[in-house]
Amino acid sequence: MIVAGSASQTLAVELTDELDRELATVSSDRFPDGELLAAVPDFAGEQAIIVASTVSSDAHVELLLLQDAVREAGAEEVVTVIPYMGYGRQDAAFEEGQPISARAIARAISTGTDRVITVNPHEEAVCDFFEPTAESVDAAGRLADPLPADLVDPVFLSPDAGAIGLAETVRDAYGRGETDYFEKVRHSGTDVEITPSDVSVAERDVVVVDDIVATGSTVSEAVAVLGERSVEDVYVSCVHPLLVRDAYTDLSRAGVEAIYGTDTLERGSSAVSVAPAVAEHLGG
């Protein structure tokens, strides 16, 4: 049976279709002091596939509770699918005294599962923080699906060197176009400096491709640079459309035609489902 975390309802339902499995009824509650409770039906001898993006602290705790609940209910095997792994970007101690948050989170999740699957982690290395090592699914190829078929001489541009592989994957899936990347220096959570490359974008459509769009600062800077260079239309493709604060409206105001992401996060921009890629990985 498939068990849906609160933040992954849509994807869990898609996966039940892809894998031809039942969806477990999860009873969620909250105690007067704010603590969470999550109960599941009988799992005697069954495999439990928990699908839960850990997009908030509550979602993290809920996942740990669901893992424990399915074990208590007799599950023979627990598979944890983390479509979007919260704290995944905190994969090092960036200053003295800081934790390696991704490792701390991974260790906690590892205790309640036999297997972990995640989708396009920010760095593959975070998979090694899990015990056993998490398996990563690449769902980026599907990001080309919602793009208009008639893009004009398109350039698939990543805002930093780290995402050039994603830009290439989306370009390959789209079937034509050039790829390039900008150089990015992050000064703070919202202050990002982009150094343009030499790619010519005048009178061409550009698809900015990144793994995560969070505050939108990175993409905004890229769009500003493109605007100075007589670009035609700008689209944004990302695996994880986190879109915190006013990111969606800010990017629309900046002139972005459309933002296409996946359902690792449930947002208005979640145009593509990662369910087929996850199901294929699970052997469905």
C-beta of residue 135 within 8 angstroms of C-beta of residue 115: yes
CB of 157 to ligand R5P, least distance (A): 12
Kindly tell me which residue out of 48, 65, 81, 163 binds ligand R5P, with binding defined by CB under 6 A: 163
CB of 143 to ligand R5P, least distance (A): 14
Cβ proximity to ligand R5P, 112 vs 241, nearer residue: 241
Closest CA to 154 of 180, 188, 128: 180
Whether the upstream peptide bond of residue 132 has omega within 30° of 0, thus cis, is: yes
Cβ proximity to ligand R5P, 21 vs 267, nearer residue: 267
The 52-91 contact track toward ligand R5P, x by CB under 6 A, reads -------------------------------------x--
Query: 216-246: b or e for each residue (b if 16 or more CB lie within 10 Å)?
Result: bbbbbbbbebbeeeebbbbbbbbbbbbbeee
Amino acid at site 97: G
CB of 235 to ligand R5P, least distance (A): 16
Sequence-separated (6 or more) residues with CB below 8 Å from residue 88: 102, 118, 121, 122, 123, 126
Residues 91-120 binding ligand R5P (CB under 6 A) are none
Cβ proximity to ligand R5P, 1 vs 102, nearer residue: 102
Taking the C-alpha atoms of residue 100 and residue 245, their distance in angstroms, rounded to an integer, is 25
CB of 219 to ligand R5P, least distance (A): 6
Q: Given 184, 204, 240, 267, which residue is catalytic?
A: 184
247 is written with which tokens?
Answer: 């990111």
DSSP bridge partners of 227: none
CB of 89 to ligand R5P, least distance (A): 6
Cβ proximity to ligand R5P, 142 vs 240, nearer residue: 240
Sequence-separated (6 or more) residues with CB below 8 Å from residue 172: 141
Characterise 95 by phi-psi region: left (phi > 0), alpha (psi -120 to 50), beta (else): beta
Cβ proximity to ligand R5P, 10 vs 215, nearer residue: 215
Active site residue 184: yes
Taking the C-alpha atoms of residue 85 and residue 122, their distance in angstroms, rounded to an integer, is 9
22 is written with which tokens?
Answer: 């039942």
The 184-223 contact track toward ligand R5P, x by CB under 6 A, reads --------x-----------------xxxxxxxxx-----
Q: Which residues bind ligand R5P (CB under 6 A)?
A: 89, 159-160, 162-163, 192, 210-218
Catalytic positions, please?
Answer: 184
